[in-house]
């Protein structure tokens, strides 16, 4: 049975938001959805290609292609948070908005993979959670990296929510905050 989750405080207030609270709140949202009888995420679904193909362009040779906005992944739209002291208001707001979207959205698509060849000593067990409206991203992740055995916690987690959520701008710049990286 899933642990009870307090509905009134599942998402921390902006002032107290931190990387560790973000991850805790994410896990609480998953438990809350599960306790309400909802599917919080699709765990490495076998039908990713079928889901993704609905959004693809099919070429004459049978290959599939997807449009992608590479600028959203640029260093200019990325911030690195090394510890809680780096968390300015805009970063906290960004994390709260991502959690609000995850809470309101249908089941995320979860993909587990190794980044780096397994057994090489350089592999990193990664779990990616993708907004269900973008199955092509989950599919491409599943094809790009190596399958895992799923017997342990991931070394890193990636949350892919490619929506405009009223994203704040990076302080001191004219760049919209789109990617935030912090230690696991």
Query: Is 14-181 assigned to CATH 3.40.449?
Result: yes
Q: What is the pLDDT of residue 8?
A: 67
Cα–Cα dist 117/133, whole Å: 29
Q: What is the pLDDT of residue 7?
A: 60
Q: What is the pLDDT of residue 4?
A: 59
In the chain, domain spans: 14-181
Q: What is the pLDDT of residue 49?
A: 95
Q: pLDDT in tens for each of the 184 residues of the chain?
A: 455 555 668 999 999 999 999 999 999 999 999 999 999 999 999 999 999 999 889 999 999 988 876 666 677 788 888 888 999 999 999 999 999 999 998 999 999 999 999 999 999 999 999 999 999 999 999 999 999 986 788 998 999 888 777 888 889 898 888 888 877 5
- Compute and round to an integer the Cα radius of gyration of the chain: 17
**Polymer length of the chain:** 184
pLDDT tens, position by position, 23-48: 999 999 999 999 999 999 999 999 99
> Which residue carries 């899933």 as its tokens?
2
Q: What is the pLDDT of residue 99?
A: 95
Q: What is the pLDDT of residue 72?
A: 61
Q: What is the pLDDT of residue 3?
A: 57
- Strand segments, DSSP code E, in the chain are 41-43, 57-58, 64-65, 78-80, 108-115, 124-130, 146-147, 156-160, 179-181
Strands 156-160 and 124-130: parallel
- Does the CA dihedral 94-95-98-103 come out positive or negative? negative
Q: What is the pLDDT of residue 90?
A: 93
């Amino acid at each position: 049975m899933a642990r009870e989750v307090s509905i009134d405080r599942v998402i921390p207030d902006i002032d107290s938001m931190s990387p560790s609270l973000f991850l805790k709140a994410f896990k609480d949202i998953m438990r809350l959805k599960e306790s309400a009888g909802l599917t919080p995420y699709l765990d490495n679904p076998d039908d990713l290609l079928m889901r993704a193909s609905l959004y693809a362009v099919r070429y004459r040779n049978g290959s599939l292609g997807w449009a992608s906005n590479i600028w959203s992944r640029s260093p200019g739209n990325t911030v690195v948070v090394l510890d809680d002291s780096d968390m300015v208001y805009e970063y906290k707001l960004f994390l709260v908005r991502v959690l609000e979207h995850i809470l309101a959205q249908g089941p995320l698509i979860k993909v587990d993979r190794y980044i780096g060849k397994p057994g090489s000593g350089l592999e990193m067990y990664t779990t990616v959670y993708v907004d269900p409206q973008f199955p092509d991203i989950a599919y491409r992740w599943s094809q790009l990296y190596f399958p895992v055995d799923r017997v342990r916690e991931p070394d890193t987690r990636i949350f892919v929510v490619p929506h405009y959520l009223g994203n704040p701008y990076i302080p001191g710049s004219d760049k919209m905050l789109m990617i935030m990286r912090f230690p696991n």
